[in-house]
Amino acid sequence: MSIADASLTDPVAEARARRITAPAVARGIRAHADVTQETIAREVGVSTTTVSAWEKGASRPSGELLMRYAATLRRLLEVSV
């Protein structure tokens, strides 16, 4: 089962992903890890504009993108701690 599949069948996994990708939380994790929006965009497979919109709360990731974004942020947390 892929990360994206888990979000479709596991509401707990989706809730956790939503918390870590909340705009202020995600922006804080990225800044603390000293990583650019461009790097996040490349990891997740979206544009820098999309990451910026997520961090501003102008839009929210969903489905597979939500899970990829959350996984990327979790990896940053592990590395920066």
Q: What pLDDT shows up at residue 2?
A: 47
Summary mean pLDDT of the chain:
89
Question: How many CB atoms lie under 10 A from the CB of residue 16?
Answer: 15
pLDDT above 90 as % of the chain:
74
- Residue 32 to residue 2: CA distance in whole angstroms: 28
CA 47 from chain centre, in angstroms, equals: 13
DSSP label at 74?
H
40-48 contacts at long range (C-beta below 8 A, 24 or more positions apart): 40/69, 40/72, 43/68, 43/72, 44/68, 44/69, 44/72
Q: What is residue 45's DSSP assignment? A: T
Pick the CATH number of 3-80 from 1.10.287.610, 1.10.3720.10, 1.10.260.40, 1.10.150.120: 1.10.260.40
pLDDT digits (tens, 9 = 90+) for 24-55: 999 999 999 999 999 999 999 999 999 999 99
